[in-house]
Structure 1
Amino acid sequence: MPLFGRDTELKDLGALVDGSEDRGGILIRGEAGIGKSALVDEAVAAAAIAGVRVLRTAGVEAEQNYPYAGLHRLLYPLRKELDRLPARQYAALATALGLSDGGDTPTAYLVGLAALTLLAEAADERPLLIVAEDVHWLDPASAEVLAFVARRVDSEPIVLIATLRDGAGTPLADAGLSPMRLEPLSDDDAAALLDSAAPRLPAQFRQRLLAEARGNPLALTELHTAVSDLDELPAELPLTERLERAFSARGTTLPAPTGTALLVAALDDSDSLTEVLSAASLLLGSRAEAEIFTPALEHRLLVLGRDTVTFRHPLIRSALTTTATFEERARAHRALADVLAGHPVRRAWQRAAATSGPDEEAARELEDVAERARHQGGAIAALERAADLSDDPGRRADRLLRAAELAVDSGRRDTAERLVLAARALPTTPRHDATAAWLLSGFDDGVRENPSRIGELAELAASVAADGHPDAAMRILWGAAMRCFWSEPGADARRALLAVADELPVADDDPRLVAVSAYVAPFERGERVLDQLRLLASDTGRNAEVDRFLGSAALQVGAFDLAAHFSAAAAPGLRAAGQLGLLPRALTVQAWSLARLGDLAAAAPTATEAADFARETGQPFMHGLATAVQAEIAALRGDYAQASALAGAAERIGLASGARPVLATVQLARGLAALGAGRYDDAFADLRRMHDPRDPSYSPALRAYFLAELTDAAIRAGQADALRELLRDMESAVASTPSPALHIGWRYAHALLATDAAEAHFTGALAADLTAWPAERGRLHLSYGEWLRRQRRVVESRTHLRTAREIFDAIGSTAWSERARLELRGAGESSPNRDPDARDRLTPHELSIARLAARGLTNREIGQRLYLSHRTVSTHLHRIFPKLGVSSRTDLAALLPADDDTIA
């Protein structure tokens, strides 16, 4: 039957399928029966004509509890190509698809990278059309992987078409697919479709049907078979339910054995004809053959394949299940469970579906399912259903809280809150109460919570430790410590946390304890933390999560060189394991530290990647912090318009969540931009805000690490007295910690404030080990040179000013290098114009790819590290080479020497 009223949509789909290599995808939305599948079928037909290979999957309501069921259906035709994948990707995808028992449960991101690689390899041979219908019913694991793939196929000869029912959600809705909204047919098109479907329909029924159908194609083609029943349906009934009733009305006229087999097919979580006939045979007490479905075929309810049985529309399946009684459904589920003895996971779910009351044996089976689940979503669903079936309140609470913990780990706030609320409604033990109390605090590191919550967590940690659970207490303590970074709870809360930490039976060099001390008391415990960090710095690369903890700890105490070292060591392990939720945290610390150290070439791509992954993994406060670092980098490079735009975007995130480090870094970026532009009063006002406890950008630790910038602004704004007052407030911190960043800034400030002994202060500051701190060394040389020139020691000043210019040219700090050039001209020496560095010509994303290519990595290896397809990498390199005026990787290596390991 031809499609009516969809000419525009058909044209758009045809252009997509038969277009250029840069294709993308479309998400078709609309109500049930609006014609989404019909459009997809037309696109598939167009793909066949164009020589495009088609891979299809569809969400099935009965399969939602089976992780990667939809992905298995999509990739099954490519199963023989799996061995071409890199080893880690092969293991992840084979485990996810149930083709291998595997080892650890792979993350959805690693599975997504493997699926992307597999699809890109297939598309190299022949363009692909990926079709995913009814994505609102896809199991969560498959939906996450498809969203991951959808974000990364822009440069691939791959088209993705998905369909979504109105009112439903899916990760694919935010994956960059172009929306296509299907509206009801116009009156003329609706009439034409009805005339085509039912040309002999009496006029009195025709008008009634057109009014009832309201332009819905499925209603127009199906309701006419049940016109005699229309008067029995309430007029206010929703169209979807009217269609379900029409379909179920057909079922009531079928022979009883056919109705039984149809119900089994509707409740089966597979389309296997053999399974359905076997279960139907058990229910009927006699062997059922395929002919049992002949009446249903005549009523156009389903379609039979060689060994498959599928319903012509999902509403038919739902109509059959909703009209059956619970006992009828339970009997069908039990029969299916009996025939699925060789499939323990599916058997457990079928058995659970047949149960209405407590059944501890069925609950334990579902617990086993949760243990073996290849995705946290499947484990959460299994544990929640196991809790429903529990015969004891304690076991029910245990299962609910275990499910809630998995929901927290996977970022599902609504699910976690619902599960914790259900657990709290039960009679619980103190252990349950403690678990429920701290569980939800993992979201956003408590950024949006009242700071008073930190004191409560300290008491809870002490109580849990006293009950003999030190690991649980440490976890609670870590959550509380993180809040001391994002918010300011006050001295009492910090002391309470330290008291609990000091009593825990853990070693002093336990990375968790080191990190807690750094977050809670970065000055008071700074010396102890720095000693531990230096001892641990030689043992990185063993555990990525430990390295990430230590990188964060180093940042808190102002050891940015160590912070960059630990976070760079953490990144490879997090990438390889597909832990993209943790990766942006490590990358943000790395970028923040590199920007402070002056390594802008490495900081820029790292910050961009951190922001991208934080956005993709739903971490707004980390996205805000990474964006603020991007603003700082833009300011240092002299791109003040970009710095302003990025700072504004980060500030909106920081203000909405009350994230002080985000707002502090925003003020730093604005202060740097104002300094570079010569607006010294504005610069001092921006930077001073971080020292005001009443200001939302006040950050007790971070403010101490911007003293050099604050000093530059204050001296040039004529605010030396105000600066001295601010420095007096920092005296106790300086006395209590050997923090490198704090002491570098402290020495710099006193050199610029000094009157009689300025030279001694400058020489003393330059005598410190600044090997890993080029920006600070350049700043000292610049200010010392300026001071010497004001003392009319012009010849001596040139050496320092020249050194400063060379440092700032090398690190790409445009504003500072221009200031050095201006001073040199005043000292009677001209400076050559700074030639744009090769890195300045590339976007941060391109720079990431170029640096890896310069190190000799292949496109596939680069793709594995950056979670891109090899074709996307190739496309970027084709753009990069002309920008840099090179034609090979060898040329890249000459332009971008591998002088660090920031993108590991």
Structure 2
Amino acid sequence: MQGRVLLGRETERRVLAALVEQAASGSGGAVVVLGAAGIGKSSLVAEAAAQAARRGTRVITAVGVESEENVPCAGLHQLVHQLREGIDDLPGPQRAALRGAVGLVDEAVPDLYLVGLAALTLLSDAAGKAPLLVVVEDAHWMDRASLDVLGFVARRIESDPLVLVVVTRGLDDRLAGAGLPVLPLNPLTDEVSGELLDTVAPGLGQQVRKRLLEEAAGNPLALTELPVALQSVGGAYALTPGPLPLTERLERTFTARVSRLPVDTRTVLLLAALNGDGTMDECLAAATRMLGRPVDIAALSPAVGAGLVEAWGMVFRHPLVRSAMHHAATAAERQAAHAALAAELQGQPDRQAWHRAAATSGHDEQAARDLDSTAGRALRRGGVAAALAAMRRAAELTADPHARADRLLRAAELALESGQGDVATHLLAQARSLDLSVRDQGRAAWVGIALIEGAARGEGIATAELAELAVGIAAGGEPVLGLRMLWGAVLHCYWGEPGPAARRRVAAAVGRMPVDADNADLVALRAYCAPVERGRAVLESLAGQLERSSEDAEGDQLLGGAAVTVGAPALASRLTARSLDVLRARGRLSMLARALCVQAGSSARLGDVRAGSLAAEEAAELASETGQPLVRAMVHAIRAQLAAVCGDPRVEAWAAEAERAALPAGARPALAILQTARGHAALCQGRYGDAFGHLHRVFDPADPAFHPWLRFYALAELVEAGVRSESAEAVRDILEELTPLGELTPSPALLCGLRLGRALLSPADAAEPLYRAALAAVPVDWPFERARVQLALGEWLRRQRRPAESRVVLQAAREVFDALGASAWAERARQELRAAGASSPRQDPAAVDRLTSTELHVAQLAAQGLTNREIGERLYVSPRTVSTHLQRMFPKLGVTARGELAGVLRSTMTYAEDVA
């Protein structure tokens, strides 16, 4: 049969064979086998698996089951069970996360990405003993958490002898988001279809043969099963005209066979179809309960004879048989079967809850409570999608309007968390149709503002009202909910433009929030909503926070973002750096992406190209993986800024990519950063008019790129571009507008910009003391800004015919720019030095600059003495991937062993660290 089914699949067979050979040769990969029901996916993959097994490759499988789609990590559990001997060898946090995710222990899962790392390590370790082929069948029915984990693994197995083959009918967002290569299975050609039909049903009349070929439409299962249906009672419909879809027509061929089976057999098959991956004993016990008489394994014999299940166990010959059983039963029969299964599943509360809910029509508070508890357990195991499904069904079963509103709002919050905005909107509308308590009104308002936050637009009045409601909620005894609501309002002010009146009301609400003044959330909220008015107090709080030891990684990440907003990038870098290792260890990759974004942005403003590029590359990957498009847009804008600093020609490419996502969303911070990057690039290239045009947009309140606080970082460059492009009066007006703000806040970014801006605008006879004052006032932890002022001073001194003095400060500026990797600014300093009569050849790239960001990260960790396994844990890759990176970087650095890395890195990076 297999040989017949695989007729016409030579190309696809070669692709899978090559992938299996790849694993045997020591490298890995993944593929999605995509095709309609009955198209031959399973047969194709089964042949590849058999070939792999014959060559010594270990094969493990998991099968998605429709009734377990809402059981978190059910599919992953199947795989883990087959590799259970390796669980104890996992690092402690990974072992605990994986055991909790698959239900081996009742412990909360810190983050699903830590489960992904554990699964990667488990599979990689197994592949290290023998090449490994992982086959996932019927992935369209697999739970989302398992597919998320498998997607995480699939992107990281290039260097391992490990192949993942995912078989599915449809490429939904769970698989498309993983970015895996797709192997589509198309219908067989007419010639091959005829050959297959003649093999399985020889001697057909020409008219019947022609009609069967038309109906089958190149589907191998149809070509095999429709002839059988013609020979069966009730199978004549197979050739009746009409628009019946092929899948439904095939289901009916199986249904016709089911209808002739004894009642005991039909009952057991229905229970098996509804019981997912349950055991035969469960189905037989439930059948006994339903029928009121003993039912044993003999009941399956007629189903085997009818070709519906395999002879060696209760395994359906094809998934469509399972669907046929479901559709052949009446609603009352299905409810009775679910009720019988629920009664037999004592000790399995999640499966029991779903069966009880399926057995229920109308309202049932007990069934709703059971699903509510199931949602809680799903969240503990990292299954947000499963929790959402359980909570939605629980709400449907709930009669009490207050309890129903609570469950609808919790479901809406879960939909937001899982990125399903349309679902959240629908659930929110349902909740708002009920009589909501004040507390639930606040929750609904928070969900509503969160839904428009992605677009960074909305009514300023609604934003202010949400902030004021948040204060009331917190004062009423729920500070956590109040803070969360307040964040929604404040972030709307940061990302969008609700108007000055709304901003003032939000800032006033933050000031009235009844929580401790040193609370990290409150400090960050003050920074984001009123960085000028509250800037002095915020900077004092941030400095105090930095002096204290902290294990609050989430708080440190928030405080780092706050420091950027109040214009203190060096402080932001130090605060954020404290959070990175903790977030990695806990698998908090969504928050890690945001922390790395802050780190990259701080480094860009500090001119530290290497550190910024390292953080930006990882942040971009994690933002994509964790579904955070606005974070990814911010990272691309920061990449444009880094490219501008180092003279990388990709400035515009990064800026354009960021703009494509940020402009429709009205994401002002990203737009401001990318416009600043364009302005910096033009300024370093001597295109002063273009530079002024780009930078002025950040200062124009009518422009989408305007940002009231991030513009501080572009002030000096705007003034220089204006002075050199005959727009001095325009920038003088902006400088006068911002000067009063400098009296309210000690923001380093604003004050440095104001001081250098005044020097650039001053007449020649008054300029020098202003330049000297600007240089003296640069914070000691901002070497790039110091070099920036030295460059401006050196240029002024040269124009004043004082070349010897200019060479001193220009040389100092160039050395700092070179050390930081700020090549575009270093080149400006070199041009000035040459004009001042000093030779200044271009510096050869440092050895580390020949590395990719990932290679540099691996090199730094290896130089610290970490093993490949420990580095893999930090970077969420397999140890073999770490080994591959090391092998690639050694020739670039001119070393032959990892013991030499510390010396090479120290010699090329020490000065940059010193000046920073």
Task: Check whether TM > 0.5.
Answer: yes
Deviation (angstroms), 1:443: 4.8
Deviation (angstroms), 1:432: 2.6
Are the aligned partners of 1:251 and 1:320 in contact in 2 as well (CA < 8 Å)?
yes
Are the aligned partners of 1:518 and 1:554 in contact in 2 as well (CA < 8 Å)?
yes
**Residue matched to 1:447:** 455
Are the aligned partners of 1:143 and 1:170 in contact in 2 as well (CA < 8 Å)?
no
Q: Which runs of 5+ in 2 are unaligned?
A: none
Deviation (angstroms), 1:124: 1.4
Describe how 1:119-518 pairs up with structure 2 within 5 A.
Answer: 119-166=123-170, 169-227=172-230, 229-232=234-237, 235-305=242-312, 308-373=313-378, 374=381, 375-443=383-451, 445-452=453-460, 453-462=462-471, 464-465=473-474, 469-518=478-527
Change in CA separation of 1:304 and 1:76 when aligned onto 2, cut-off 3 Å: farther
Q: Are 1:760 and 2:769 counterparts?
A: yes
Change in CA separation of 1:362 and 1:429 when aligned onto 2, cut-off 3 Å: same
Q: Are 1:107 and 2:111 counterparts?
A: yes
**Residue matched to 1:795:** 804
**Residue matched to 2:69:** 64
- Give per-residue Cα distances to partners, 1:854-897, cap 9 Å, x unaligned: 22222222211111111111111111111111122232211223
| Amino acid in the other structure paired with 1:319 | A
1:703 to 703, 706, 711: 711
**Residue matched to 2:780:** 771
- Give per-residue Cα distances to partners, 1:195-220, cap 9 Å, x unaligned: 22222444443222222111111111
Percent identity over paired residues:
52
Q: Distance in 2 between matches of 1:126 and 1:650?
A: 43
Deviation (angstroms), 1:251: 0.5
Are the aligned partners of 1:146 and 1:172 in contact in 2 as well (CA < 8 Å)?
no
SS at match of 2:83: helix
Q: Distance in 2 between matches of 1:673 and 1:693?
A: 23
Change in CA separation of 1:817 and 1:901 when aligned onto 2, cut-off 3 Å: closer
SS at match of 2:243: coil
- Give per-residue Cα distances to partners, 1:831-850, cap 9 Å, x unaligned: 34312112221222222222
Deviation (angstroms), 1:393: 1.9
Segment of structure 1 superposing worse, 85-94 or 844-853:
844-853
Are the aligned partners of 2:190 and 2:218 in contact in 1 as well (CA < 8 Å)?
yes
2:881 to 859, 866, 872: 872
- Give per-residue Cα distances to partners, 1:778-803, cap 9 Å, x unaligned: 11122222222222322222221111
Deviation (angstroms), 1:662: 1.0
Change in CA separation of 1:819 and 1:557 when aligned onto 2, cut-off 3 Å: same
- Give per-residue Cα distances to partners, 1:127-162, cap 9 Å, x unaligned: 111111111100111011011111111222211111
Deviation (angstroms), 1:712: 2.7
Deviation (angstroms), 1:462: 4.8
2:900 to 867, 879, 891: 891
- Give per-residue Cα distances to partners, 1:663-708, cap 9 Å, x unaligned: 1111111111112211111112211111111111111101112122
| Amino acid in the other structure paired with 2:724 | R
Describe how 1:514-529 pairs up with structure 2 within 5 A.
Answer: 514-529=523-538
Deviation (angstroms), 1:456: 3.9
Q: Are 1:75 and 2:80 counterparts?
A: yes
**Residue matched to 1:811:** 820
Change in CA separation of 1:814 and 1:297 when aligned onto 2, cut-off 3 Å: same
Are the aligned partners of 2:268 and 2:287 in contact in 1 as well (CA < 8 Å)?
yes
Are the aligned partners of 2:457 and 2:666 in contact in 1 as well (CA < 8 Å)?
no
Are the aligned partners of 2:534 and 2:745 in contact in 1 as well (CA < 8 Å)?
yes
TM-score, length-normalised on structure 2?
0.95
Q: Distance in 2 between matches of 1:489 and 1:428?
A: 26
Q: Distance in 1 between matches of 2:72 and 2:591?
A: 22
Deviation (angstroms), 1:463: 5.1
Are the aligned partners of 1:370 and 1:378 in contact in 2 as well (CA < 8 Å)?
yes
Deviation (angstroms), 1:413: 2.2
Segment of structure 1 superposing worse, 49-58 or 17-26:
17-26
Q: Distance in 1 between matches of 2:860 and 2:659?
A: 31
Deviation (angstroms), 1:458: 3.1
Segment of structure 1 superposing worse, 220-229 or 238-247:
220-229
| Amino acid in the other structure paired with 1:379 | A
TM-score, length-normalised on structure 1?
0.96
Q: Are 1:39 and 2:71 counterparts?
A: no
Deviation (angstroms), 1:644: 1.6
Are the aligned partners of 1:530 and 1:557 in contact in 2 as well (CA < 8 Å)?
yes
Are the aligned partners of 2:676 and 2:695 in contact in 1 as well (CA < 8 Å)?
yes
Q: Are 1:575 and 2:598 counterparts?
A: no
Q: Which runs of 5+ in 1 are unaligned?
A: none
**Residue matched to 2:677:** 669
Q: Distance in 2 between matches of 1:502 and 1:82?
A: 50
- Give per-residue Cα distances to partners, 1:107-142, cap 9 Å, x unaligned: 221111110111111111211111111111001110
Are the aligned partners of 1:550 and 1:566 in contact in 2 as well (CA < 8 Å)?
yes
Q: Distance in 2 between matches of 1:440 and 1:583?
A: 26
Q: Are 1:652 and 2:656 counterparts?
A: no
Q: Distance in 1 between matches of 2:645 and 2:325?
A: 66
Are the aligned partners of 1:54 and 1:128 in contact in 2 as well (CA < 8 Å)?
yes
| Amino acid in the other structure paired with 1:265 | A
| Amino acid in the other structure paired with 2:43 | A
Q: Are 1:556 and 2:565 counterparts?
A: yes
| Amino acid in the other structure paired with 1:570 | S
Segment of structure 1 superposing worse, 179-188 or 751-760:
751-760
Are the aligned partners of 1:401 and 1:420 in contact in 2 as well (CA < 8 Å)?
yes
Segment of structure 1 superposing worse, 414-423 or 504-513:
414-423
Q: Are 1:600 and 2:605 counterparts?
A: no
Are the aligned partners of 2:425 and 2:451 in contact in 1 as well (CA < 8 Å)?
no
Are the aligned partners of 1:447 and 1:483 in contact in 2 as well (CA < 8 Å)?
no
Are the aligned partners of 1:136 and 1:170 in contact in 2 as well (CA < 8 Å)?
no
Q: Are 1:856 and 2:856 counterparts?
A: no
Q: Distance in 1 between matches of 2:201 and 2:249?
A: 19
Deviation (angstroms), 1:304: 4.9
Segment of structure 1 superposing worse, 31-40 or 219-228:
219-228
Deviation (angstroms), 1:464: 3.6
Describe how 1:637-648 pairs up with structure 2 within 5 A.
Answer: 637-639=646-648, 641-648=649-656
Are the aligned partners of 1:271 and 1:309 in contact in 2 as well (CA < 8 Å)?
no
Deviation (angstroms), 1:440: 4.0
- Give per-residue Cα distances to partners, 1:289-308, cap 9 Å, x unaligned: 21110000001101254xx5
Deviation (angstroms), 1:190: 0.9
Q: Distance in 2 between matches of 1:654 and 1:839?
A: 32
- Give per-residue Cα distances to partners, 1:717-772, cap 9 Å, x unaligned: 34332221110111221121110111111111122222333222222222225321
Are the aligned partners of 1:451 and 1:488 in contact in 2 as well (CA < 8 Å)?
no
Change in CA separation of 1:415 and 1:107 when aligned onto 2, cut-off 3 Å: farther
**Residue matched to 1:843:** 852
SS at match of 1:547: helix
Are the aligned partners of 1:408 and 1:440 in contact in 2 as well (CA < 8 Å)?
no
Segment of structure 1 superposing worse, 295-304 or 400-409:
400-409
Deviation (angstroms), 1:69: 0.6
Segment of structure 1 superposing worse, 291-300 or 687-696:
687-696
Deviation (angstroms), 1:465: 4.8
Are the aligned partners of 1:271 and 1:310 in contact in 2 as well (CA < 8 Å)?
no
Q: Are 1:52 and 2:57 counterparts?
A: yes
